[in-house]
Structure 1
Amino acid sequence: MCGRTCCTVFTGIIIGAAITIAVTYPVLRDEWFGPGDDETGARAAFVACSDAGTQSPADVSEGALASGASILPTNAILRNVSLMTLANVHYHSPAEHRSQGEFSTPNASESGFACDDASDATGTARVVATNGDDVSDARYAFSFCQDVAVGDTIELHWVYSTGAARTGVSDGLSGAFATQNNPYVVVRAQVFKITNNPSDDVADLFVSWNTTLVSDAVRYVGSTTGDKYDNVDRCSPFLVIWHVDRECHRVSARSLDEMCRVMKDNGLSDDLKAHAARQLVPSSLTASALSLSSTFY
């Protein structure tokens, strides 16, 4: 019975949450993937990590500690992307997120993680390594995807937005802000090890993550990613709601290349190349992950 006052307060809360990810789209496009990646063109925007909201990529393992405080309440974390529009598809190599026993093997020369195999020191990893004829002397020659090879681990990202144009995808995040300056943005992430085995074909990778593969997914509030950020004074100021599949899957090289072919046919060019991984963020900058119900896969 608080009438207009409660309505005003509630509306303010919702608007405040939405404004957190508001930015004019040309700036954000350069900030996430584009000229800002090599510090040319439009300058990337950063925030000191001591002042930042919860960040990504996170350790999404079961039981992983997270002490960062999300600015969104639990019931406000978007779960359903069916009414949102796909704005972009891109991928990272190696995986940015970490999931114990699935993709938790540290990359030897850079940030990120590889899918685990039988050599995992914990002895708990599921075997997903490329063995036998998966990796042969006649390694797959990619025609469209760039900077990837058989045996690599990749993390695919599908970017959804309430403010995307329904006319198609575009490089970077600009398309997510085509019709709104303050949309909600959800990124779905699925990790694969690339094989040379036709039995690992995955259809329609451009369209969305493969729901038949998903049996254990989580959602959490984080940020944009990319190796331009660190965990000290160059954190991301941009809020993203993440849906992450916690299992590593196998994908044939030809399926991935077909995805890149469709990306190119849809006008993408910058995102045909694998992006580098951001360093895993500490628990102090990580929001707790919640289970994503299979209803919303």
Structure 2
Amino acid sequence: MCPSEDKYTDEGRMEESSPSKAVVPLAIVTVVSVVCMCATAIVVATQDNGSASAPLGSGSGLSNLNVILNVGDTDFATRGPPAGDNPCAGKKLDLPNIECINDAIDGKPQAGANVTKGYKGDMEVDVEPIDKPYWQSGLCPVNVHWHLGAEHYSLGEYDEAGKGPAADEKDDDHRRLAEEARLGYQCRHYDENDARFAMPYEWKHCVGMKVGETYEVHWPHSAAGSCGTVNQYQTPFYDGVFCNLDMDTLVTLGAQDIANNVGVQAQVFTIVNDETYYYPDLMRGMVVDGAMGSDIAYYTGSTTGTSRDNTICSQYSPITWQVDRKCHMVSASSFDKMCADMKAQRDDMSDDLYAHGSRVLVADEFAADNGKRLLRA
């Protein structure tokens, strides 16, 4: 129970002849009132065990003001914005795959390529990739998704000598995805005797993921996206890339125009169960922190995925690729937070909450000869 305010009011009247002595009771009134209001709010919130509306200062001039308390699980909130029109829905432009015949794909180099230091493909192109951060060229990320293993190849980082966990028979989701999705190259971090790579993580938002496994994350960017709005992120990513671009306009653009306005960031990770490697904003783009995002390969290529190989090629080309040549460790919780953020978008991104299969490494004859390597300070 809170002491009656009348008690202090009466004492205040008794001391009216001494203003200096009246200050102390008045201060006590203020402190006790605040404590009582907080206690009342806590009681209401505790009873509800979620969001609660607590009366503030009942009987006072603030009696109609409520304090909204949330003492429930606030981790990884997945509540999206209000429902509304999605101007990007269905905006994918249909450019069907074609046979990888030199004449047919002339000027349409493919990805993912070898990004080892010094590598250049054999396809001669007269287009240059964007060699500065995409935001400086007016592009924004319009999607995030990832592939099982690495689609690119970086000798000594993610290559044929890399390794990861064997499919666990008890891990149904991971085993199913491993059977359905092609595994790309793996990093060299994995150590089955290190708890960071072996301790299971309780996934709440991502689907079929595995601690210790290698994943290549892609952030498609576009100058024609719904940048800066609640509709910026889209699945499939093509809807985001072409949100404000129609086919009539696309056919008027030159190869350099396309490479200047569409690009992908790529970064390769091994997942660990270690909060030392937690990055809370993985959805927004490549991590640039110390060695992360500092050694970048730039080239022009195409979209990827297992519907293409060295027989069937993509016509979504040429687009800029910026690929981190190093493999990094990142916490499982970083990925799960990213999946929670994806669930909170206006567009339904559930088809990108799991790893997609990796395309086979692009043959030299279909890889552009304009690759360059830059070190970011």
Provide the TM-score with structure 1 as the length reference.
0.76
In the other structure, the counterpart of 2:204 is: 143
**Is contact 1:139–1:196 with CA below 8 Å preserved after alignment?**
yes
CA distance in 2, matches of 1:159, 1:200: 24
1:160 paired to 2:221: yes
In the other structure, the counterpart of 1:175 is: 240
CA distance in 1, matches of 2:375, 2:272: 29
Give ranges in structure 1 of 5+ residues lacking alignment: 1-23, 32-44, 118-127
1:49 pairs with one of 93, 100, 112: 100
1:80 paired to 2:133: yes
Give ranges in structure 2 of 5+ residues lacking alignment: 1-89, 164-178, 251-257
1:280 paired to 2:361: yes
How far apart are 1:86 and its partner, in Å? 1.4
How far apart are 1:215 and its partner, in Å? 2.0
In the other structure, the counterpart of 1:248 is: 327
User: Residues 116 and 85 (structure 1 numbering): CA distance in 2 closer, same or farther, change over 3 Å?
Assistant: same
- Which letter does structure 2 place at the counterpart of 1:231? N
In the other structure, the counterpart of 1:210 is: 287
- Post-superposition Cα deviations, 1:179-213, rounded to whole Å, max 9, x if no partner, equal 12336211000000011111121231011111111
- Which letter does structure 1 place at the counterpart of 2:156? G
CA distance in 1, matches of 2:263, 2:192: 31
**Is contact 1:129–1:193 with CA below 8 Å preserved after alignment?**
no
Provide the TM-score with structure 2 as the length reference.
0.60
Matches within 5 A, 1:55-134: 55-72=110-127, 74=128, 77=130, 79-82=132-135, 83-105=138-160, 110-117=182-189, 129=191, 131-134=193-196
- Which letter does structure 2 place at the counterpart of 1:236? S
In the other structure, the counterpart of 1:231 is: 310
- Which letter does structure 1 place at the counterpart of 2:366? L
User: Residues 131 and 254 (structure 1 numbering): CA distance in 2 closer, same or farther, change over 3 Å?
Assistant: farther
CA distance in 2, matches of 1:94, 1:160: 21
How far apart are 1:106 and its partner, in Å? 6.5
SS at match of 1:189: strand
- Post-superposition Cα deviations, 1:215-265, rounded to whole Å, max 9, x if no partner, equal 210110000000011211x10011121000000000111111101110111
CA distance in 1, matches of 2:328, 2:285: 15
In the other structure, the counterpart of 2:92 is: 26
User: Residues 48 and 215 (structure 1 numbering): CA distance in 2 closer, same or farther, change over 3 Å?
Assistant: same
How far apart are 1:275 and its partner, in Å? 0.7
In the other structure, the counterpart of 2:57 is: none
**Is contact 1:224–1:238 with CA below 8 Å preserved after alignment?**
yes
**Is contact 2:146–2:355 with CA below 8 Å preserved after alignment?**
yes
- Post-superposition Cα deviations, 1:69-102, rounded to whole Å, max 9, x if no partner, equal 2251x3x645331121211111111111010000
**Is contact 2:235–2:352 with CA below 8 Å preserved after alignment?**
yes
- Post-superposition Cα deviations, 1:38-58, rounded to whole Å, max 9, x if no partner, equal xxxxxxx11111122210110
2:299 pairs with one of 212, 217, 220: 220
User: Residues 129 and 208 (structure 1 numbering): CA distance in 2 closer, same or farther, change over 3 Å?
Assistant: farther
In the other structure, the counterpart of 1:198 is: 275
Q: How many residues align?
A: 243
User: Residues 284 and 147 (structure 1 numbering): CA distance in 2 closer, same or farther, change over 3 Å?
Assistant: same
RMSD: 2.2
1:270 paired to 2:351: yes
How far apart are 1:132 and its partner, in Å? 1.9
**Is contact 1:79–1:219 with CA below 8 Å preserved after alignment?**
no
Which of the pair has more CA radius of gyration?
2
**Is contact 2:112–2:304 with CA below 8 Å preserved after alignment?**
yes
**Is contact 1:106–1:112 with CA below 8 Å preserved after alignment?**
no
User: Residues 196 and 185 (structure 1 numbering): CA distance in 2 closer, same or farther, change over 3 Å?
Assistant: same
